[in-house]
Amino acid sequence: MSNNQTKKAQMPGGRRGAASFGQMKGQSGDLKRVIKKYAGYFPKLVPAVLVCILVNAIVAAVPSIFQQKVLTVIENFWKSGDWSGARPQLVRYLAILISLYAVAWILSITQSQLLAYMTQKFMSNLREEMFIDMQRLPVKYFDSHKHGEIMSRYTNDIDTLRQLVSMAVPAILRSGILLAAVFFIMLYYSVWMTLVLAFGVILMAVITGKVGAGSSKYFIRQQNSVAATEGFVQEMMNGQKVVKVFNHESCATEEFNRLNDSLAQESGKANAYANILAPIINNIGNIVYVLLACVGGVMIALHTPNLSLSGMAFSIAIMVPFLNMAKQFMGNLNQLTMQMNAIVMAGAGARRIFELIDEKPETDDGYVTLVNAEIAPDGAISEVPHQTGHWAWRHPHQADGTVTYTELKGDVRLTDVDFGYEPDKQVLNDVTVFAEPGQKVAFVGATGAGKTTITNLINRFYDIADGKIRYDGINVNKIRKNDLRRSLGLVLQETNLFTGTVMDNIRYGRLDASDEECREAASLAGAADFVERLPSGYETLIENNGANLSQGQRQLIAIARAAVANPPVMILDEATSSIDTRTEAMVQRGMDKLMEGRTVFVIAHRLSTVKNSDVIMVLDHGKIIERGSHEKLIEERGTYYRLYTGAFELE
């Protein structure tokens, strides 16, 4: 599996470029789903935020109305010279305006606090939903997707939604409401002047559509370049020892420079479009402002009849606030277009998030479950709620409604099994394996022969294409997967330790295990000696997948983790491959104790570790070509003999 690659959406430091409306339309379904989910989380708080936005937008449009009224009062004062009549009106307008601003200030603070809480809660809930759904996915999904690509959905893609719900959507709503309010106010004062403004708006929309399309395209390319660059950096960090051992620093630097240059070029193009758009829109706004001033001046000079909803004659008292409203209108229209790119980014992020959430979960049609059982001397099995050291398969029969119990013994049989990870690429062909309770079955063969694949089928990480797998006489397809896997212990060649203490990692095999049981498991696996010499013993903190431990020590903890689970069937996939020969001898003694009374499947390249197996299976290209005990296979002087004597290499 390749190293993680983390994608981060890089928005430009200045203004964002506007996306094409075509791209937005293609992502509208995902964005609607985001908004619907967001509103569903906060059915009471969303209306409260909308009220805050609505009131703030309306209050922002009000000053122009008061400006017109104040100018009218001043005009009347100059004509009449009666200040006593003008003063009360001015004081009243000022008091109303201050009161409105105070209300808007309070609502603005309320809105920001609510949005901060809602946004973080939304992201938390969405990440939780993603993680829960991810846990339900089959192993195949993780085998076919880069871990870094999955991880980027929790970081970069979630962050694009944060920008959408906390900044872009509120800004769009506020600007949209403000634009509508200002537009109707302008119509109320003068239709002619509003038509001049509409001409500028149409021109701005055409230019925004053309420039914005190129901007969006390059911002998406920039996002991909960021992902490639960060993924490479992370890969180099994880493989720094290999880089230094093979003196690969210069080549790594050259590759980084190539990726970094590509990022710089894509970012440059994206920001160039974004930086071009803002001055164009601003200058169009300035041109429209000048044009409005000229048209208004001509209308006043020629006493042109004013067409308006108010019926008022056009005058300085209307022209001055109208020009301010035009400036406000253009500014908010500019702000609206600048949010389009954030919407495109959020649409792309939402699609990737919902792809994970909507991924088909692992199917499980099993109905046979594993239960604690008591076994009477006559062999009768009864289900009990407490642990007894005995397990049984609870098998409900739908035909007659009866329930039967089968003791869990660990009898595993594969009959005529065919399998391929891809339908047209067969990996196993007509494989038959019988493992009776307490038997140790070993698989040997070259890499890619199908050894690990067999164990993946036993625990149903993958399902077979043809044939049968029976566990204690029960078809594994009828056994619920969680219960099936609970009855299996697994130790892999690649160890995975989690952040926590040594004790926590051993207890991971069975969460209700006591400290004493964990210590006994460590002793059985041969891990107790080195664990007790650690600075804090079993309470020593493990971080970064056990970077402070040797590979052999990590493997011993993984073996102890399987031991504490105490399953009747053990799968050891190269379990001692990372342990030196001296340690292996010690571990082997513990492993022999661990394997006593259990059905064990062993995969090993070191043939010395499988000599005492009851049955050894030799695989080649997905077929079992030899089977038998060590002595029998040596006598046959076939492939196993050549492997054991070194006449033929596994690889």
pLDDT digits (tens, 9 = 90+) for 252-291: 898 889 989 988 888 787 777 667 776 777 788 888 888 8
Of residues 297, 319, 320, the one with CA closest to residue 308: 319
Dihedrals φ, ψ of 593, to 5°?
Answer: -65, -40
Q: Are the C-beta atoms of residues 406 and 456 closer than 8 Å to each other?
A: no
> Which H or E element spans position 279?
helix 249-301
Edge-first strand order for the sheet with 615-620 is 488-491, 569-573, 599-603, 440-445, 615-620, 623-628
pLDDT at residue 18 above 60? no
pLDDT at residue 479 above 70? yes
Q: Are the C-beta atoms of residues 648 and 444 closer than 8 Å to each other?
A: no
pLDDT, one tens digit per residue, over 379-435 is 888 988 887 778 999 999 888 889 999 999 999 999 999 999 887 888 999 999 999
pLDDT, one tens digit per residue, over 104-154 is 899 889 999 999 999 999 999 999 999 999 999 988 888 887 776 788 788
Q: What homologous superfamily does CATH list for 412-645?
A: P-loop containing nucleotide triphosphate hydrolases (3.40.50.300)
Average pLDDT of the chain, as a whole number: 82
Query: In whole angstroms, what is the distance from residue 489 CA to residue 509 CA?
Result: 8
Q: Are the C-beta atoms of residues 4 and 88 closer than 8 Å to each other?
A: no
pLDDT of residue 651: 42
Q: Are the C-beta atoms of residues 144 and 2 closer than 8 Å to each other?
A: no
- Could you tell me whether strands 381-383 and 369-375 are parallel, antiparallel, or unpaired per DSSP bridges? antiparallel
pLDDT at residue 95 above 50? yes
Distances (CA, A) of 394 to 374, 405, 477: 13, 5, 14
Q: Are the C-beta atoms of residues 164 and 32 closer than 8 Å to each other?
A: no
Provide the token pair at 138.
Answer: 């089959």
In degrees, rounded to 5, the angle at the alpha carbon of residue 530 between the alpha carbons of residues 529 and 532 is 70
pLDDT at residue 171 above 60? yes
Q: Are the C-beta atoms of residues 563 and 521 closer than 8 Å to each other?
A: yes
Q: Are the C-beta atoms of residues 384 and 181 closer than 8 Å to each other?
A: no
pLDDT of residue 207: 77
Distances (CA, A) of 645 to 430, 589, 639, 641: 28, 24, 10, 6
Enter the pTM of the model: 0.75
How many Cβ atoms from other residues are within 10 Å of residue 335's Cβ?
Answer: 17
Query: In whole angstroms, what is the distance from residue 601 CA to residue 146 CA?
Result: 29
pLDDT of residue 349: 82
Confidence bin at 7 (pLDDT 50/70/90) = very low
DSSP characters over 125-191? HHHHHHHHHHHTS-HHHHHHS-HHHHHHIIIIIHHHHHHIIIIIHHHHHHHHHHHHHHHHHHHHH-H
Query: In whole angstroms, what is the distance from residue 479 CA to residue 367 CA?
Result: 6
pLDDT of residue 583: 64
pLDDT, one tens digit per residue, over 492-508 is 877 788 888 999 999 98
Edge-first strand order for the sheet with 474-475 is 428-435, 412-419, 466-471, 474-475
Query: In whole angstroms, what is the distance from residue 8 CA to residue 147 CA?
Result: 15
Say which residue the tokens 């046959």 belong to.
Answer: 636
Which class does domain 21-357 fall in?
mainly alpha
pLDDT at residue 36 above 70? yes
Of residues 173, 172, 269, 171, the one with CA closest to residue 216: 269
Q: Are the C-beta atoms of residues 314 and 296 closer than 8 Å to each other?
A: yes
Question: Longest Cα pair distance anywhere in the chain, in angstroms?
Answer: 126
In degrees, rounded to 5, the angle at the alpha carbon of residue 134 between the alpha carbons of residues 133 and 139 is 130
* 259 HSE (CA, 13 A, CB side): 16
Query: Which of 49-58, 219-228, 344-353 is predicted with the least confidence, judged by mean pLDDT?
Result: 219-228
Residues of the chain with CATH 3.40.50.300: 412-645
Of residues 162, 164, 147, 156, the one with CA closest to residue 226: 156
Residues of the chain with CATH 1.20.1560.10: 21-357
